[in-house]
């Protein structure tokens, strides 16, 4: 995905070059903190209730997502990678064994931010326009897509993600393990659901399928997905 796609998410990206955020050349007690910052949520912590609780959001966003930010800063501060856009870190460290820590934390930082924007209060239902046309053409109907998306998420062994991605003229469902992300494979992510246990266990225990079904029925942000289409 190109960096200008990210602007459609409506936030000031903390992994943008420092000059774009006014971080470069600042000094003194009022200067913003150096390094990557936790991106703001696009809604309040309670906005996704009753489907995702405040308790889950507090742990998932405030603890897990923050940990990836903190770890990435520890790994890159004082190195040539300090200040690099997160997308660049992901692309350049994917598959590089000695950079696995940087990749895992940068990719998880990006994946989680994308996940938050993949949901909204009052979401779910059916998309419209070009996105719906592409889903129906690629999956023989929207209901068939929903079933395939849920089943792919259930079938993801262990921790990971299930995605709707654009790959050329067609849309596909992709599964990635751990921190892996479609960006590292040249695909354009449109929407994702996190299937790490910490994403759902407090609310759904071991019922991953129920969590995924809830996601597509009640929270999926199809407007956001449509905005990511090339």
3-class SS string, 82-142: CCCCHHHHHHHHCCCHHHHHHHHHHHHHHHHHHHHHCECCCCCCCCCHHHHHHHHHHHCCH
Q: Is the pLDDT of residue 137 over 80?
A: yes
Domain-embedded: residue 119: no
Query: Given strand 170-177, what is the order of strands in its sheet?
Result: 170-177, 160-167, 188-194
Residue 114 lies in a domain: no
93 domain residue, yes or no: no
Task: Evaluate whether residue 149 is within a structural domain.
Answer: yes
Q: What is the predicted pLDDT for the residue at 35?
A: 77
Average pLDDT estimate for 45-73 = 97
Q: What pLDDT, on the 0 to 100 scale, is given for residue 83?
A: 84
Q: In the predicted model, is pLDDT for residue 66 greater than 50?
A: yes
70-114 pLDDT, tens digit per residue, is: 999 999 999 999 988 999 999 999 999 999 999 999 999 999 999
Looking at 20-24, 118-122, 169-173, 194-198, which range is the least confident one? 20-24
Q: Which of 34-38, 141-145, 200-204, 214-218 has the lowest mean pLDDT?
A: 34-38
For the chain, percent of residues with pLDDT exceeding 90: 81
Residue 23 lies in a domain: no
Alpha carbon distance 151, 112 (integer Å): 21
- Domain assignment present for residue 143? The answer is yes
Compute the residue count for the chain. Answer: 230
Q: What mean pLDDT value characterizes the chain? A: 87
Residue 27, pLDDT > 90, answer: no
Question: How far apart are the C-alpha atoms of 11 and 113, rounded to whole Å?
Answer: 10
Angle at 180 between CA 73 and CA 38, to 5 degrees: 35
pLDDT at position 34, please? 60
CATH number of the domain residue 173 falls in = 3.55.40.20
Q: Total structural domains in the chain? A: 1
Return the pLDDT at 36. 87
In a domain, 33, yes or no: no
Q: What is the pLDDT of residues 143-178, one digit of tens each?
A: 999 999 999 999 999 999 999 999 988 999 999 999
DSSP per position, 192-228: EEE-SGGGTHHHHTT-HHHHHHHIIIIIB-HHHHHHT
9-13, 116-120, 130-134, 200-204: lowest mean pLDDT where? 9-13
Beta carbons of 131 and 229 less than 8 angstroms apart: yes
Greater confidence, 213 or 26? 213
In a domain, 177, yes or no: yes
Domain interval for residue 169:
129-227
């Amino acid at each position: 995905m190109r960096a200008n796609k990210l602007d459609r998410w409506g936030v000031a990206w903390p992994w943008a070059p420092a000059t774009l955020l006014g971080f470069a050349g600042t000094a003194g007690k009022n200067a913003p903190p150096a390094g990557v910052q936790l991106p703001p949520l696009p809604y309040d912590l309670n906005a996704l209730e009753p489907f995702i609780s405040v308790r889950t959001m507090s742990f998932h966003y405030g603890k897990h997502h923050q940990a990836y930010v903190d770890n990435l800063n520890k790994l890159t501060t004082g190195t040539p990678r300090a200040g690099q856009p997160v997308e660049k870190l992901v692309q350049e460290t994917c598959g590089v064994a000695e950079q696995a820590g940087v990749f895992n934390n940068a990719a998880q930082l990006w994946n989680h931010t994308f996940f938050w924007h993949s949901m909204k209060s009052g979401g779910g239902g059916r998309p419209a326009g070009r996105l719906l046309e592409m889903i129906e053409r690629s999956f023989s109907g929207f209901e068939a897509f929903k079933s395939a998306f849920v089943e792919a998420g259930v079938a993801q062994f262990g921790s990971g993600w299930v995605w709707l991605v654009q790959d050329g003229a067609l849309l596909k469902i992709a599964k990635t393990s751990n921190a892996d992300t479609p960006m590292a494979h040249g695909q354009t992510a449109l929407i994702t659901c996190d299937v790490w246990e910490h994403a759902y266990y407090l609310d759904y225990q071991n019922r991953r399928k129920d969590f995924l079904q809830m996601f597509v029925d009640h929270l999926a942000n199809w407007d956001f997905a449509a905005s990511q289409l090339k």
